[in-house]
Amino acid sequence: MATAKRIRLTLSDIGVFHVDGISQESAVKASELLQLNHDQFHIYFNKIGLHNHLAHHMLTLFASGASPDGLQKLYDQNTGYQRRRGPSDSKVVDDMHDPTGFKKYVADGEKYADFLAFFEKEIDEKGWQVVLNEYLFKAGEEADDLLVRMFEGYLHPIIHLGFGVEFAQPAVIAEALAQAAVHTNPLQNYLLSSETAAQASISPSKSLISLINDIHADEALQNAATWEDREKLVDGVLTRAEKDLIKYGSEWKVSESDLKRKTAEMINAAFVFTFGAQRPPKRIKLDFYFIHCTNASIFFSSFLEQEWLSAPDKIRLLEWKGRADLAIYASRGCPKILLEELTNYVPRYATWKEDGWNKIFYRSMIYVDSHASKLIRAMAHAEHVCRLYDDDDAFVIKTTDWLRLANMAMDSIEEEEGVEDWIRSCGFDEAWAPFPDRRV
């Protein structure tokens, strides 16, 4: 049985989207590798806070049908640069049981091992569902603070939590909680103020796509981040135009009756601005920050299925995800979204329709960067959940588009040596300068 310290995948733990034919041997191998990561490595692979994606990668590959050898190969390719976790300090862990002590250690990456040990103990004693309700969803300043941190770091903690919940692995959930605890919380005022303003307003929700268009047209937000900003979300948008952003954030609202549709709308919109933010005649490139919005989207279908999670908390999670997406979009210079790029793309391989999703999954699973396989699984899931809404104007990407766009994604990163896989900050001219023009 899986525990807060022991990872054990079974063929019942294969997620909200998975391919057919996953083997027990792959479940055993993925469990083994996830356990090594849990026991040995820090959640950041370096001192500046770049994230360890091994858990994401192994679980995605497992659900995508990777063989034991395939899992081992990709694990080995991504361990050489990882940072060792080190032991926890029992005195610090004990201190964390007091709210004042807990607060003293938050945002300190050096305390990851201590937070991990703390949450492992809490989960073993109470169960992971109880711990999540207590530490993330219980009304109060402490839970609000940790929930905000879940959405920091370009959504990495909530992605990690999503994997833990989706695959029912308490140890991965403990990692996610510890990861959130060591993040800073610059989104706090934006998320909480947007929520307060939304609750005070009687206006109906706008669609996320209309809000993306509104932000693009807003001069204050267009100019909030600059190329020179070290951290464009924090130093740019949240410093110079947070009030403007709060206005738009408060206009995205969810009710219990439309939770399922709004989840699908959020998923669809994330892919629209990620794939539509192009700069012809430059090569097709997806923004590295935006793909975290798409890759996180799949987990909100998983959150919907959790009986232990109340409807108000599901609503809150989804509202915060939409608002975080708006902030991330604004932070990259509010790029123009070219819808023709979504419909006119011609995949590199002429047999792409015949090849179908199996070929795309294969291409993503052999790619060393975990973001690729996460993106493709999220897209296949998006096709499934969005097909119900093809007649809805808020859903720009239709059922017939998803496979072509999945080819667009893999084509964009399978470039010749010397061309970066992803663009970073695609709303700025400077970001596009190094990329060559499209092939004729």
* Residue pLDDT, tens place only, 237-290: 999 999 999 999 999 999 999 999 999 999 999 999 999 999 999 999 999 999
Output the CA torsion 130→135→140→144 (10° steps): -130
- Please, which residues have CB within 8 angstroms of residue 80's CB and are 6 or more apart in sequence? none
pTM for this entry: 0.97
In contact, 273 and 409? CB cutoff 8 Å = no
Q: What's the pLDDT at 48?
A: 77
pLDDT digits (tens, 9 = 90+) for 96-150: 999 999 999 999 999 999 999 999 999 999 999 999 999 999 989 999 999 999 9
Q: What is the pLDDT of residue 46?
A: 83
Other Cβ atoms within 10 Å of 204 Cβ, number = 8
Q: Residue 98 corresponds to which amino acid?
A: D
Q: Which residues contact 423 (CB under 8 A, 6 or more apart)?
A: 285, 286, 287, 288, 431, 432, 435
Single out the residue of 293, 297, 316 nearest to residue 198, CA to CA. 316
Q: 3-state SS of the chain?
A: CCCCCCCCCCCCCCCCCCCCCCCHHHHHHHHHHHHHHHHHECCECCCCCCECCHHHHHHHHHHCCCCHHHHHHHHHHCCCCCCECCCCCHHHHHHCCCHHHHHHHCCCHHHHHHHHHHHHHHHHHHCHHHHHHHHHHCCCHHHHHHHHHHCCCCCHHHHHHHHHHHCCCHHHHHHHHHHHHCCCCCCHHHHHHHHHHHHHCCCCCCCHHHHHHHHHHCHHHHCCCCCCCCCHHHHHHHHHCHHHHHHHHCCCCCCHHHHHHHHHHHHHHHHHHHHHCCCCCECCCCECCHHHHHHHHCHHHHHHCCCCCCHHHHHHHHHHHHHHHHHHHHHCCCCCCCCHHHHHCCCCCCCHHHHHHHHHHHHHHCCCCHHHHHHHHHHHHHHHHHHHHCCCCCCCCCHHHHHHHHHHHHHHHCCCCCCCCCECCCCCHHHHCCCCECCC
Which whole number is the average pLDDT over 349-366? 96
Decide: 244 and 355 in contact? Cβ < 8 Å.
no
- Once rounded to an integer, what is the mean pLDDT over residues 18-34? 96
Mean pLDDT of 414-426: 88
Structure tokens at 194: 């947007």
Q: What percent of the chain has pLDDT over 90?
A: 95
**Per-residue pLDDT averaged across 224-249, rounded?**
98
- In this prediction, residue 15 has a pLDDT band, given cuts at 50, 70 and 90, of confident
Q: What is the dihedral of CA 419, 71, 21, 10, to 10 degrees?
A: -130
Instruction: Return the pLDDT at 373.
Output: 97
What type of residue sits at position 397? I
pLDDT-derived band at 152 (thresholds 50, 70, 90) equals very high
The Cα–Cα gap between 382 and 297 comes to 8
Burial class (CB in 10 A: 0-12, 13-18, 19+), 423: buried
Name the average pLDDT for the chain.
Answer: 96
Q: Which tokens sit at 134?
A: 């207590």
Residue 164 in contact with residue 7, Cβ under 8 Å?
no
Give the residue extent of every domain in the chain. 24-181, 186-440
Backbone angles phi, psi at 138, to 5 degrees: -70, 130
Backbone angles phi, psi at 106, to 5 degrees: -60, 155
Q: Is the dihedral angle over the CA atoms 167, 146, 374, 408 positive or is it negative?
A: positive
The partner residues of 100 in beta bridges, in order of sequence, read none
For the cut 90, the answer to whether the pLDDT of residue 439 exceeds it is no
Q: pLDDT, tens digit, for every residue of 173-217?
A: 999 999 999 999 999 999 999 999 999 999 999 999 999 999 999
Q: What is the largest CA-CA distance in the chain?
A: 64
Closest CA to 177 of 145, 205, 209, 204: 145
